[in-house]
Structure 1
Amino acid sequence: MTTHAVEDQYFRTLAVTLDTAGGFAEVSGELVPTGTVRRRPGSAAQAPYPIGTGDSTLLTAQVQDEPLALTPGPARFRRGTWYVDALLGTTAYRLAARSTETSTLTRDGEDIATFEAHGNEWISAAWQRPVDPQDATVGYLLALAFGTGAQTAPRAFVMALLDSIPGQ
Protein backbone atom coordinates (compact mmCIF):
# COMPACT_ATOMS: atom_id res chain seq x y z
CA MET A 1 0.00 0.00 0.00
CA THR A 2 1.37 3.39 -0.95
CA THR A 3 0.17 6.90 -0.25
CA HIS A 4 1.11 9.96 -2.29
CA ALA A 5 0.30 13.65 -2.02
CA VAL A 6 -1.57 15.28 -4.89
CA GLU A 7 -1.87 19.05 -5.31
CA ASP A 8 -5.27 20.36 -6.44
CA GLN A 9 -6.00 23.90 -7.66
CA TYR A 10 -9.01 24.29 -5.32
CA PHE A 11 -8.51 21.75 -2.56
CA ARG A 12 -4.76 22.02 -1.95
CA THR A 13 -3.07 18.81 -0.83
CA LEU A 14 -4.91 15.50 -1.04
CA ALA A 15 -3.62 12.10 0.07
CA VAL A 16 -4.27 9.24 -2.38
CA THR A 17 -3.73 5.65 -1.28
CA LEU A 18 -3.88 2.59 -3.52
CA ASP A 19 -3.36 -1.08 -2.68
CA THR A 20 -4.12 -3.14 -5.80
CA ALA A 21 -3.24 -6.46 -4.17
CA GLY A 22 -5.38 -5.70 -1.13
CA GLY A 23 -8.19 -4.05 -3.11
CA PHE A 24 -8.25 -0.67 -1.41
CA ALA A 25 -8.28 2.95 -2.64
CA GLU A 26 -8.71 6.09 -0.55
CA VAL A 27 -8.76 9.85 -1.12
CA SER A 28 -8.61 12.27 1.79
CA GLY A 29 -7.64 15.84 2.54
CA GLU A 30 -8.22 18.74 4.86
CA LEU A 31 -10.74 20.36 2.48
CA VAL A 32 -12.48 17.25 1.08
CA PRO A 33 -14.49 14.40 2.58
CA THR A 34 -12.73 11.03 2.75
CA GLY A 35 -13.71 8.52 0.08
CA THR A 36 -12.90 4.81 -0.18
CA VAL A 37 -13.34 1.91 -2.58
CA ARG A 38 -12.81 -1.65 -1.33
CA ARG A 39 -12.70 -4.90 -3.22
CA ARG A 40 -14.30 -7.86 -1.43
CA PRO A 41 -11.70 -9.58 0.77
CA GLY A 42 -10.45 -12.81 -0.76
CA SER A 43 -11.31 -11.80 -4.33
CA ALA A 44 -8.39 -11.94 -6.75
CA ALA A 45 -6.98 -8.78 -8.32
CA GLN A 46 -7.46 -8.71 -12.08
CA ALA A 47 -6.26 -6.25 -14.70
CA PRO A 48 -6.86 -3.69 -16.07
CA TYR A 49 -8.30 -1.75 -13.14
CA PRO A 50 -6.00 -0.42 -10.39
CA ILE A 51 -8.60 -1.50 -7.77
CA GLY A 52 -8.30 -5.01 -9.21
CA THR A 53 -11.77 -5.58 -10.63
CA GLY A 54 -14.50 -4.08 -12.77
CA ASP A 55 -17.14 -6.30 -11.16
CA SER A 56 -19.38 -3.98 -9.15
CA THR A 57 -20.64 -6.91 -7.02
CA LEU A 58 -17.12 -7.19 -5.57
CA LEU A 59 -16.84 -3.48 -4.71
CA THR A 60 -18.08 -1.24 -1.92
CA ALA A 61 -17.49 2.49 -1.89
CA GLN A 62 -18.40 5.49 0.22
CA VAL A 63 -17.78 9.18 0.63
CA GLN A 64 -17.76 10.05 4.32
CA ASP A 65 -20.46 7.67 5.53
CA GLU A 66 -22.65 7.86 2.43
CA PRO A 67 -22.68 4.88 0.03
CA LEU A 68 -21.24 5.48 -3.44
CA ALA A 69 -22.82 3.06 -5.93
CA LEU A 70 -20.37 2.04 -8.68
CA THR A 71 -21.14 0.62 -12.13
CA PRO A 72 -18.03 0.13 -14.29
CA GLY A 73 -18.47 -0.11 -18.05
CA PRO A 74 -17.50 -3.27 -19.95
CA ALA A 75 -14.01 -1.94 -20.92
CA ARG A 76 -13.86 -3.55 -24.33
CA PHE A 77 -11.96 -2.58 -27.51
CA ARG A 78 -13.83 0.68 -28.13
CA ARG A 79 -12.73 3.63 -25.98
CA GLY A 80 -16.38 4.50 -25.30
CA THR A 81 -16.75 1.31 -23.24
CA TRP A 82 -14.12 2.50 -20.70
CA TYR A 83 -16.11 4.34 -18.05
CA VAL A 84 -17.39 4.04 -14.52
CA ASP A 85 -20.71 5.45 -13.31
CA ALA A 86 -21.12 6.47 -9.69
CA LEU A 87 -24.18 7.57 -7.76
CA LEU A 88 -23.81 9.48 -4.51
CA GLY A 89 -27.21 10.33 -3.07
CA THR A 90 -29.03 11.86 -6.05
CA THR A 91 -25.88 13.07 -7.82
CA ALA A 92 -24.76 11.02 -10.82
CA TYR A 93 -21.11 10.99 -11.88
CA ARG A 94 -19.34 9.38 -14.82
CA LEU A 95 -15.59 9.12 -15.43
CA ALA A 96 -15.15 8.23 -19.10
CA ALA A 97 -12.03 7.77 -21.23
CA ARG A 98 -11.49 10.58 -23.74
CA SER A 99 -7.94 9.84 -24.96
CA THR A 100 -5.18 7.33 -24.31
CA GLU A 101 -4.24 9.25 -21.14
CA THR A 102 -7.26 11.24 -19.96
CA SER A 103 -10.83 10.78 -18.77
CA THR A 104 -13.60 13.33 -18.33
CA LEU A 105 -15.64 13.56 -15.15
CA THR A 106 -19.28 14.56 -15.52
CA ARG A 107 -21.74 15.48 -12.76
CA ASP A 108 -25.38 15.02 -13.72
CA GLY A 109 -24.36 14.96 -17.38
CA GLU A 110 -22.21 18.12 -17.41
CA ASP A 111 -18.43 18.03 -17.85
CA ILE A 112 -16.69 19.30 -14.73
CA ALA A 113 -13.09 18.05 -15.02
CA THR A 114 -10.46 16.16 -16.96
CA PHE A 115 -8.39 13.64 -15.02
CA GLU A 116 -5.10 11.95 -15.81
CA ALA A 117 -3.66 9.23 -13.58
CA HIS A 118 -0.63 6.98 -13.52
CA GLY A 119 -1.45 4.56 -10.70
CA ASN A 120 -1.53 6.55 -7.50
CA GLU A 121 1.86 8.12 -8.06
CA TRP A 122 0.55 10.94 -10.20
CA ILE A 123 -3.03 12.16 -10.59
CA SER A 124 -4.08 15.53 -11.91
CA ALA A 125 -7.43 17.23 -12.31
CA ALA A 126 -8.19 20.18 -14.59
CA TRP A 127 -11.45 21.61 -13.28
CA GLN A 128 -13.66 23.38 -15.82
CA ARG A 129 -15.54 25.27 -13.10
CA PRO A 130 -15.49 25.56 -9.33
CA VAL A 131 -16.78 22.35 -7.76
CA ASP A 132 -17.87 21.04 -4.38
CA PRO A 133 -15.46 19.09 -2.17
CA GLN A 134 -17.65 16.01 -2.74
CA ASP A 135 -17.05 16.30 -6.52
CA ALA A 136 -13.29 16.36 -5.95
CA THR A 137 -13.38 13.28 -3.73
CA VAL A 138 -15.48 11.32 -6.22
CA GLY A 139 -13.37 12.37 -9.21
CA TYR A 140 -10.02 11.56 -7.63
CA LEU A 141 -11.38 8.32 -6.18
CA LEU A 142 -12.69 7.09 -9.54
CA ALA A 143 -9.45 8.05 -11.33
CA LEU A 144 -7.41 6.31 -8.63
CA ALA A 145 -9.48 3.11 -8.45
CA PHE A 146 -10.30 2.69 -12.15
CA GLY A 147 -7.54 4.60 -13.95
CA THR A 148 -7.88 7.09 -16.77
CA GLY A 149 -7.72 6.93 -20.55
CA ALA A 150 -8.00 3.98 -22.92
CA GLN A 151 -6.16 2.76 -25.98
CA THR A 152 -7.58 3.13 -29.47
CA ALA A 153 -9.52 0.11 -30.76
CA PRO A 154 -6.84 -1.00 -33.26
CA ARG A 155 -4.08 -0.82 -30.63
CA ALA A 156 -6.21 -2.65 -28.04
CA PHE A 157 -6.98 -5.37 -30.60
CA VAL A 158 -3.30 -5.85 -31.49
CA MET A 159 -2.32 -5.94 -27.80
CA ALA A 160 -5.00 -8.56 -27.11
CA LEU A 161 -3.71 -10.67 -29.99
CA LEU A 162 -0.13 -10.39 -28.74
CA ASP A 163 -1.23 -11.32 -25.22
CA SER A 164 -2.87 -14.47 -26.56
CA ILE A 165 0.36 -15.78 -28.12
CA PRO A 166 2.03 -18.32 -25.81
CA GLY A 167 5.50 -17.34 -24.60
CA GLN A 168 5.03 -13.62 -25.27
Structure 2
Amino acid sequence: MTVNDMDRAPIDDTLFGGVTVRQDGQDRIEVGGEGIPLAVLERSPTAEVDPQIAIGTRDPALLTLSIDGREAGLMPAKGGLSRRSYRVDVTYDGSVYRLVPDSVPSSRLTRDGTHLGDFSCDGDEMVIAEWREGAEVRPVDASIGYALASAFGTGAQPMWMMIVDGVTSALP
Protein backbone atom coordinates (compact mmCIF):
# COMPACT_ATOMS: atom_id res chain seq x y z
CA MET A 1 0.00 0.00 0.00
CA THR A 2 1.37 3.42 -0.89
CA VAL A 3 0.51 6.82 0.51
CA ASN A 4 -1.72 7.58 -2.48
CA ASP A 5 -3.87 4.51 -1.72
CA MET A 6 -4.70 5.58 1.83
CA ASP A 7 -8.00 7.03 2.95
CA ARG A 8 -6.31 9.39 5.43
CA ALA A 9 -7.17 13.08 4.96
CA PRO A 10 -4.18 14.77 3.36
CA ILE A 11 -2.38 17.83 4.70
CA ASP A 12 -3.18 20.87 2.52
CA ASP A 13 0.21 22.15 1.32
CA THR A 14 0.06 25.71 -0.04
CA LEU A 15 2.21 24.83 -3.08
CA PHE A 16 1.60 21.13 -3.75
CA GLY A 17 -1.98 20.45 -2.65
CA GLY A 18 -2.76 17.30 -0.71
CA VAL A 19 0.23 15.66 1.00
CA THR A 20 -0.16 12.49 3.05
CA VAL A 21 2.29 11.40 5.73
CA ARG A 22 1.99 7.85 7.03
CA GLN A 23 4.02 6.35 9.85
CA ASP A 24 4.14 2.59 10.20
CA GLY A 25 5.19 2.44 13.85
CA GLN A 26 8.86 3.36 14.14
CA ASP A 27 9.76 1.22 11.12
CA ARG A 28 8.73 3.23 8.07
CA ILE A 29 7.50 6.66 7.01
CA GLU A 30 5.87 7.33 3.64
CA VAL A 31 5.17 10.76 2.20
CA GLY A 32 3.31 11.30 -1.03
CA GLY A 33 0.68 13.21 -2.90
CA GLU A 34 -0.48 14.03 -6.39
CA GLY A 35 2.00 16.92 -6.69
CA ILE A 36 5.09 15.35 -5.09
CA PRO A 37 7.17 12.18 -5.53
CA LEU A 38 6.84 9.32 -3.05
CA ALA A 39 9.45 9.44 -0.26
CA VAL A 40 10.05 6.36 1.92
CA LEU A 41 12.25 6.46 5.00
CA GLU A 42 12.89 3.07 6.66
CA ARG A 43 14.69 1.88 9.75
CA SER A 44 16.57 -1.40 9.75
CA PRO A 45 14.74 -4.08 11.74
CA THR A 46 18.03 -4.81 13.56
CA ALA A 47 18.25 -1.28 15.01
CA GLU A 48 17.80 -0.68 18.70
CA VAL A 49 14.74 1.57 18.94
CA ASP A 50 14.87 4.95 20.70
CA PRO A 51 11.30 5.80 21.75
CA GLN A 52 12.05 9.55 21.58
CA ILE A 53 12.69 9.47 17.82
CA ALA A 54 9.74 8.81 15.52
CA ILE A 55 11.80 6.63 13.16
CA GLY A 56 13.55 4.99 16.13
CA THR A 57 17.20 5.93 15.50
CA ARG A 58 19.53 8.67 14.28
CA ASP A 59 22.17 6.15 13.15
CA PRO A 60 22.62 6.67 9.38
CA ALA A 61 23.84 3.09 8.92
CA LEU A 62 20.41 1.86 10.05
CA LEU A 63 18.27 4.19 7.91
CA THR A 64 17.45 4.38 4.21
CA LEU A 65 15.65 7.12 2.32
CA SER A 66 14.35 6.72 -1.21
CA ILE A 67 12.57 9.19 -3.48
CA ASP A 68 10.49 7.59 -6.23
CA GLY A 69 12.53 4.41 -5.73
CA ARG A 70 15.94 6.12 -6.01
CA GLU A 71 18.13 6.02 -2.92
CA ALA A 72 19.15 9.29 -1.28
CA GLY A 73 22.10 9.85 1.05
CA LEU A 74 20.84 10.39 4.60
CA MET A 75 23.03 11.71 7.43
CA PRO A 76 21.28 12.68 10.68
CA ALA A 77 23.58 14.24 13.27
CA LYS A 78 23.66 12.55 16.69
CA GLY A 79 21.90 15.32 18.62
CA GLY A 80 23.35 17.02 21.68
CA LEU A 81 23.39 20.41 23.35
CA SER A 82 23.17 22.72 20.35
CA ARG A 83 20.27 23.05 17.92
CA ARG A 84 22.69 22.43 15.03
CA SER A 85 23.52 19.01 16.53
CA TYR A 86 19.97 17.89 15.57
CA ARG A 87 20.40 18.66 11.87
CA VAL A 88 19.62 16.07 9.20
CA ASP A 89 21.42 16.20 5.84
CA VAL A 90 20.27 14.55 2.62
CA THR A 91 22.05 14.34 -0.72
CA TYR A 92 19.80 13.64 -3.67
CA ASP A 93 20.00 14.30 -7.40
CA GLY A 94 23.05 16.57 -7.09
CA SER A 95 21.62 18.72 -4.27
CA VAL A 96 22.36 18.87 -0.56
CA TYR A 97 19.39 19.34 1.76
CA ARG A 98 19.48 20.22 5.44
CA LEU A 99 16.71 20.29 8.02
CA VAL A 100 17.98 22.07 11.14
CA PRO A 101 16.12 23.42 14.19
CA ASP A 102 15.97 27.22 14.23
CA SER A 103 13.46 27.78 17.05
CA VAL A 104 11.74 25.78 19.78
CA PRO A 105 8.90 24.53 17.54
CA SER A 106 10.31 24.56 14.00
CA SER A 107 13.17 23.65 11.71
CA ARG A 108 14.48 25.30 8.54
CA LEU A 109 14.81 23.34 5.28
CA THR A 110 17.58 24.39 2.90
CA ARG A 111 18.70 23.11 -0.49
CA ASP A 112 22.31 23.91 -1.35
CA GLY A 113 22.23 26.60 1.36
CA THR A 114 19.06 28.32 0.10
CA HIS A 115 16.30 28.62 2.71
CA LEU A 116 13.20 26.97 1.20
CA GLY A 117 10.81 26.92 4.13
CA ASP A 118 10.10 26.01 7.72
CA PHE A 119 8.58 22.80 9.10
CA SER A 120 6.81 22.11 12.39
CA CYS A 121 6.12 18.59 13.62
CA ASP A 122 6.21 16.66 16.88
CA GLY A 123 7.50 13.53 15.12
CA ASP A 124 4.10 12.32 13.98
CA GLU A 125 1.95 12.42 10.83
CA MET A 126 0.86 16.05 11.31
CA VAL A 127 3.48 18.15 9.55
CA ILE A 128 3.11 21.87 8.83
CA ALA A 129 5.19 23.41 6.04
CA GLU A 130 5.53 27.16 5.54
CA TRP A 131 7.29 27.84 2.24
CA ARG A 132 9.47 30.92 2.02
CA GLU A 133 8.10 33.58 -0.28
CA GLY A 134 10.14 33.84 -3.47
CA ALA A 135 11.94 30.52 -2.98
CA GLU A 136 11.98 28.20 -5.98
CA VAL A 137 10.55 25.12 -4.27
CA ARG A 138 10.44 21.87 -6.23
CA PRO A 139 8.15 18.89 -5.57
CA VAL A 140 11.09 16.75 -4.37
CA ASP A 141 11.93 19.45 -1.81
CA ALA A 142 8.50 18.94 -0.25
CA SER A 143 8.87 15.15 -0.20
CA ILE A 144 12.21 15.40 1.60
CA GLY A 145 11.06 18.10 4.03
CA TYR A 146 7.87 16.29 5.08
CA ALA A 147 9.70 12.96 5.47
CA LEU A 148 12.49 14.41 7.61
CA ALA A 149 10.15 16.47 9.79
CA SER A 150 7.95 13.43 10.46
CA ALA A 151 10.88 11.07 11.09
CA PHE A 152 12.94 13.30 13.38
CA GLY A 153 10.56 15.98 14.63
CA THR A 154 11.38 19.68 14.45
CA GLY A 155 12.64 22.43 16.70
CA ALA A 156 14.90 22.39 19.72
CA GLN A 157 15.56 24.50 22.77
CA PRO A 158 18.52 26.89 22.62
CA MET A 159 21.64 25.72 24.46
CA TRP A 160 21.23 28.28 27.25
CA MET A 161 17.74 26.97 28.00
CA MET A 162 19.00 23.36 28.15
CA ILE A 163 21.73 24.42 30.57
CA VAL A 164 19.23 26.24 32.79
CA ASP A 165 16.92 23.20 32.75
CA GLY A 166 19.84 20.94 33.69
CA VAL A 167 20.95 23.18 36.55
CA THR A 168 17.44 23.66 37.97
CA SER A 169 16.68 19.94 37.83
CA ALA A 170 19.89 19.24 39.80
CA LEU A 171 18.90 21.66 42.57
CA PRO A 172 17.00 20.31 45.61
Q: State if a TM-score over 0.5 links the two structures.
A: yes
Partner residue in 2 for 1:18: 23
> SS in structure 1 opposite 2:84?
helix
Provide the rounded CA distance (Å) in 1 between the counterparts of 2:28 and 2:86: 20
What is the match of residue 8 of structure 1?
13
TM-score (norm 2): 0.85
Name the residue aligned to 1:82.
Answer: 86
Task: Tell me the equivalent position of 1:132.
Answer: 138
Asked if 1 retains the 8 angstrom alpha-carbon contact of 2:125 and 2:150, the reply is no
Report if aligned partners of 1:20, 1:45 keep a CA contact under 8 Å in 2. no
CA contact (8 A) 2:43 2:63 kept: yes
Match of 1:30 in 2: 34
Partner of 1:56: 60
| Deviation (angstroms), 1:19 | 2.9
Give me the whole-angstrom Cα distance separating, in 2, the residues matched to 1:78 and 1:161: 19
TM-score by length of 1: 0.87
Partner of 2:3: none
Relative to structure 1, the CA distance from residue 54 to residue 73 in structure 2 (aligned partners, 3 Å threshold; closer, same or farther) is same
- The whole-number CA distance in structure 2 between the counterparts of 1:145 and 1:160 is 30
Cα RMSD of the aligned pairs, angstroms, is 2.2
Specify the alignment match of 1:41 in structure 2.
Answer: 45
SS in 2 for 1:135: helix
Counterpart secondary structure, 2:151 = helix
Q: Following TM superposition, by how much is the alpha carbon of 1:43 offset from its aligned partner in structure 2, in angstroms?
A: 1.9
Work out the number of aligned pairs and report it: 161
Structure 1 gaps, min length 5: none
Partners of 2:83 and 2:159 within 8 A in 1: yes
List runs of 5+ in structure 2 lacking aligned partners. 1-5
Q: 1:30 to 1:108 in 2, by over 3 A?
A: same
3-state SS, counterpart of residue 10 of structure 2: strand
The change in CA–CA distance for 1:159 and 1:117 in structure 2 (over 3 A counts) is farther
Match of 2:110 in 1: 106
Asked if the contact 1:104/1:114 (under 8 Å) is kept, the reply is yes
Q: Counterpart of 1:146?
A: 152
Distance 1:154 1:93, change over 3 A: same
> Aligned residues: percent identity?
33
